[in-house]
Structure 1
Amino acid sequence: MAERMLKFVGTPQALPEKRPAAERRRDFQEIYARYAREKAAEQAARCSQCGVPFCQVHCPLHNNIPDWLKLTAEGRLDEAYELSSATNNFPEICGRICPQDRLCEGNCVIEKGFESVTIGSVEKFITDTAWENGWIKPIRPRHERPQSVGIVGAGPAGLAAAEQLRRKGYQVAIYDRYDRVGGLLIYGIPNFKLEKEVVQRREQLLRSSDVRFHLDCEVGRDVTLEELRQRHDAVLLATGVYKARDIQAPGVGLPGIVAALDYLTAANRIGLGDTVAAFESGVLDARGKNVVVLGGGDTAMDCVRTAVRQGARSVKCLYRRDRANMPGSQREVKHAEEEGVEFVWLTAPQAFLGSESVTHVRSVRIHLGMPDASGRRTPQEIPNSHMNIEADLVLKALGFDPEDLPAMLRASDLALTGWRTLKIDWRSMMTSLDGVFAAGDIVRGASLVVWAVRDGRDVAERIHGWLSAGATAPLAVAAE
């Protein structure tokens, strides 16, 4: 009822209880507790139900946020979940890891002076409640279709597409080179942001829905793309991007300088009970070390906060711009600072010092000059401002680029863009190969999980349209 809403003028913003920094530094558990049912309803009731919901506009999935907030405020949680899941395959995952401060919550119209509605925490609460009450059931299509779709990649784009296609009755098989389902959700994101059970129960739901998984199966090594094309009526490439960007500087090859994803994967595998030789030998273990992380995105935040939990002696994050210009979530920066991470703003590495392994990062102070063509202010070195920062472990969190997919898949006629991402016809989302579609980071470049879910849902519709039309191919995408 309408009188339940518009409570923002009298009810302050209240996130779920956050565990004290001294406590959460010691483990990898999620840092926020769950809302109590009445507290979730109270916070949902702060929504102003505005006529043009900017939260929804700025959500890549265009979730019906005001509507499921109103249903939550009224205690109609089963209906709230039904509405939430209508546009999002993984609302409990997005509620945990989306940078809401840059998307929905950051565009809430009551933010100034009253603080935004806690959209992400309510979204997480709704879906966790749905799981506990058994409202989430395996997919049972009304009609089974004979056509099959092969999906390469078990990350968020591939999983979202698989669920949507299975709902339409297609036979779906997912191929992934890793031994677990989830991609970066399982190996790239630490438990304190996304506990692995949250991903694994989605996997079990898809298995119960008769989606078949072929793990430890690398396309190009264990099976060719051409074989998949013969095996399935359509193929989706949703491999993501994993090639770490490097830095060109003297000493960059010294032992102790590693890629962020290698470090995070090792930490996540240890948490899952695996034995990782590089961790056991101390190479990827931050315990007792002076850790320096290069970068300012969410991967860098995951690294610094993981190093704190592993017992690092000190953790510093070097970023060449200031706090206001960093690409990562400001909420994550605040969490890291609470946990003891030191941010060294306006600083860039120039060289790495050491003989048998890295001992220092030689860096230079930065001044932000005039904006460049992108609108961002250009970093400029300040003369004679060099300093050496002690480091036993340096983590390069500088972003990701696509791997050479045509070579990996043994498909030389697979067209690429100038950025080495897969080239597609944006109307059909088909690549230069007939019946082979692509979605997610391998098309748009390294991006957010919520965008991968959006792309997976979109490409499922395109595949359905193509197969329903009798698999009539659109105009081919020309190779560059």
Structure 2
Amino acid sequence: MSAKDFRFLEVSRQTPRTVPVPVRVLGYSEISGDFAASEAATQSERCIDCGNPYCEHACPVHNYIPNWLKLVQDGRLFEAATLMHETNPLPEICGRVCPQDRLCEGACTLEQTAFGAVTIGSVEKWVTDEAIRQGWRPDLSLVRESGRRVAIVGAGPAGLSCADRLRRAGIAADVYDRYHEIGGLLTFGIPPFKLDKAVMRTRREVLEGMGVRFRLGIEIGRDLDFAELVDGYDAVFVGTGAYTYVDGRLDGRDLNGVHDALPFLIANVHRLLRDEVPSATYDMRGKHVVVLGGGDTGMDCNRTAIRLGAASVTCVYRRDEANMPGSRREVGYSREEGVQFLFHKQPVALLGEDGRLNAVRVVDTELVAGADGRMRPQNIPGSESDLPADVVIQAFGFQPSPPDWCQVHGVALDPSGKILVGGAGQLPFQTSHPRIFAGGDNVRGADLVVRAVHDGREAAGSIARMLADTPVAQPVAAVA
């Protein structure tokens, strides 16, 4: 071993500096700064290249993490960016929004010691941002066009990932989306302080440079019949996400002041993009806000309410902190920005007067091990209490809401509405219709961005395999 293999003894774990709390809560800019090139290289040198890269195994797209960390150490920026894109079509996005503490960094060998994990996510973000800024672009010079065409429904992470991989295989990709910007919930659901929308615009430029064609502001089933895609393309990929929010079915959910997380977040991003003041519906100034739910969406709601001027924000979660599904980093940011957490509390009703919310009734819980080993909350009788609230935001999660045209075209669903893929005799991510593929949250239910990226990537591989074995149909109708 060389001295470099023990750099972690000399160099402590360091993440880029964040904007001070009193400044960050005044606006919506990304709060995390960037490494300088020397800092990225020094942090990359902390990797011990342990020979059994647990970080790589824990990453849903199985990034070649030790390999590109070595390239960063050696100052080979463009090669590092190229290697990142071999496994992840959206590395600058995953570097920002992935819960690395539960994935790659959580599995880092150094994380199991007092030295702390390599700052993988921050390096990933820096490499992609800096390489693109310096002019790096995917090299498609050796790609041979196949003459095949695929329609992609949904410009979220699964759809964008699929489009990237199809173009690398020489397959034309047209991406349809009802919004006028790409990204899906990356753009309209994730707040700008986590993911600046300029990042999505840059990724759009990169993809368009690869030959991806975006057809935005078009809702399939309303503006264009899905049958036209099935008839006009060699294959279709459906990446429509999960937009149906889980209804906690709490008494009082129709009171004024009760909101669901996704409409709240989407409305705020829309008004930021239009540079408008908050609407009366989502006016939080001087109000006591209670967020119900402990996932990353709940953390987004916490931090958005703070920026909207709430007098207080309290996050209620039915388990303990160790069992929260949200990123530890996002929980920490919420705390720094003034959010209070109440654990072991289960909401049971929303209370109000004259049609207006004024409290949340909660009951204490205790954790009991379930059959699957996960600790499950059990209500403690007689422990009810009322928590004053002017506003409640319900962040209980999301479910797929498959469009009607799925079943019309023979795409099988499970009872919860998830699209069924990869069954017996099918390629991975192939639906019951042989030329329709699907992936992301409409297959998994609400899940991580990086898993949607994985699905789009793998679905593109399946589409390419199917088309390679399928004669070109004559003629193929064109969709304008």
Bin the TM-score by the shorter chain: over 0.9
Q: Decide whether the 8 Å contact of 1:8 with 1:45 is kept in 2.
A: yes
Q: Deviations over 1:92-146 (max 9, x none)?
A: 1111110000000001111121111000001111111101110125755632222
The one of 361, 370, 373 aligned to 2:371? 373
Q: Separation in 2 of the partners of 1:404 and 1:456?
A: 17
**Per-residue deviation at 1:273?**
1.7
Q: Separation in 2 of the partners of 1:307 and 1:118?
A: 29
Do the aligned partners of residues 404 and 437 (structure 1) sit closer, same or farther apart at CA in structure 2, a change above 3 Å counting? closer
Q: Separation in 1 of the partners of 2:422 and 2:270?
A: 37
Q: Separation in 1 of the partners of 2:276 and 2:262?
A: 17
Gaps of 5+ in 2: 473-480
Alignment correspondent of 1:108: 108
Do the aligned partners of residues 151 and 213 (structure 1) sit closer, same or farther apart at CA in structure 2, a change above 3 Å counting? same
- 1:379-390 equivalences under 5 Å are 379-390=377-388
Do the aligned partners of residues 2 and 242 (structure 1) sit closer, same or farther apart at CA in structure 2, a change above 3 Å counting? farther
SS at match of 2:263: helix
Q: Decide whether the 8 Å contact of 2:316 with 2:342 is kept in 1.
A: yes
Alignment correspondent of 1:477: none
Alignment correspondent of 1:419: 416
Question: Under a length normalisation based on structure 1, what TM-score does the superposition of the two structures give?
Answer: 0.94
Alignment correspondent of 1:363: 362
Q: Separation in 2 of the partners of 1:394 and 1:301?
A: 14
Q: What is the RMSD computed on CA atoms of the aligned residues?
A: 1.9
Q: Decide whether the 8 Å contact of 1:402 with 1:421 is kept in 2.
A: yes
Q: Separation in 1 of the partners of 2:49 and 2:378?
A: 45
Q: Decide whether the 8 Å contact of 2:402 with 2:442 is kept in 1.
A: no
Alignment correspondent of 2:475: none
Q: Deviations over 1:233-263 (max 9, x none)?
A: 1011111111000111211111211110111
Which residue identity is paired with 2:67? D
Alignment correspondent of 1:136: 137
Which residue identity is paired with 2:410? D
Alignment correspondent of 1:315: 313
Which residue identity is paired with 2:358? T
Q: Separation in 2 of the partners of 1:249 and 1:266?
A: 23
Q: Decide whether the 8 Å contact of 1:138 with 1:208 is kept in 2.
A: no
Alignment correspondent of 2:210: 209
Q: Separation in 1 of the partners of 2:299 and 2:322?
A: 15
Runs of 4+ in 1 over 6 A off after TM superposition: none
Question: Under a length normalisation based on structure 2, what TM-score does the superposition of the two structures give?
Answer: 0.94
Decide which moves more: 16-25 or 119-128: 16-25
Q: Decide whether the 8 Å contact of 1:71 with 1:80 is kept in 2.
A: yes
Q: Decide whether the 8 Å contact of 1:156 with 1:182 is kept in 2.
A: yes
SS at match of 1:113: coil
Alignment correspondent of 1:300: 298
Which residue identity is paired with 1:304? N
Alignment correspondent of 1:283: 281
**Per-residue deviation at 1:286?**
2.0
SS at match of 2:160: helix
Do the aligned partners of residues 212 and 310 (structure 1) sit closer, same or farther apart at CA in structure 2, a change above 3 Å counting? same
Alignment correspondent of 1:167: 168
1:345 aligns with 2:343: yes
Q: Decide whether the 8 Å contact of 1:220 with 1:410 is kept in 2.
A: no
Q: Separation in 1 of the partners of 2:84 and 2:409?
A: 41
Alignment correspondent of 1:24: 24
- 1:73-472 equivalences under 5 Å are 73-111=73-111, 112-137=113-138, 139=140, 142-273=143-274, 279-280=278-279, 282-354=280-352, 355-369=354-368, 371-405=369-403, 407=404, 409=406, 411=408, 413-426=410-423, 427-428=426-427, 429-470=429-470
SS at match of 1:283: helix
Q: Separation in 1 of the partners of 2:399 and 2:100?
A: 25
Gaps of 5+ in 1: 473-480
Do the aligned partners of residues 140 and 268 (structure 1) sit closer, same or farther apart at CA in structure 2, a change above 3 Å counting? farther
Which residue identity is paired with 2:355? E
Q: Decide whether the 8 Å contact of 1:7 with 1:45 is kept in 2.
A: yes
Aligned pairs, number: 468
Q: Deviations over 1:272-320 (max 9, x none)?
A: 12658xx42x212322211111101000001001111111111010100
**Per-residue deviation at 1:412?**
6.0
Which residue identity is paired with 2:88? N
Q: Decide whether the 8 Å contact of 2:409 with 2:433 is kept in 1.
A: no
Q: Deviations over 1:380-437 (max 9, x none)?
A: 22222222112121111101111143x2556263211233201112551221113111
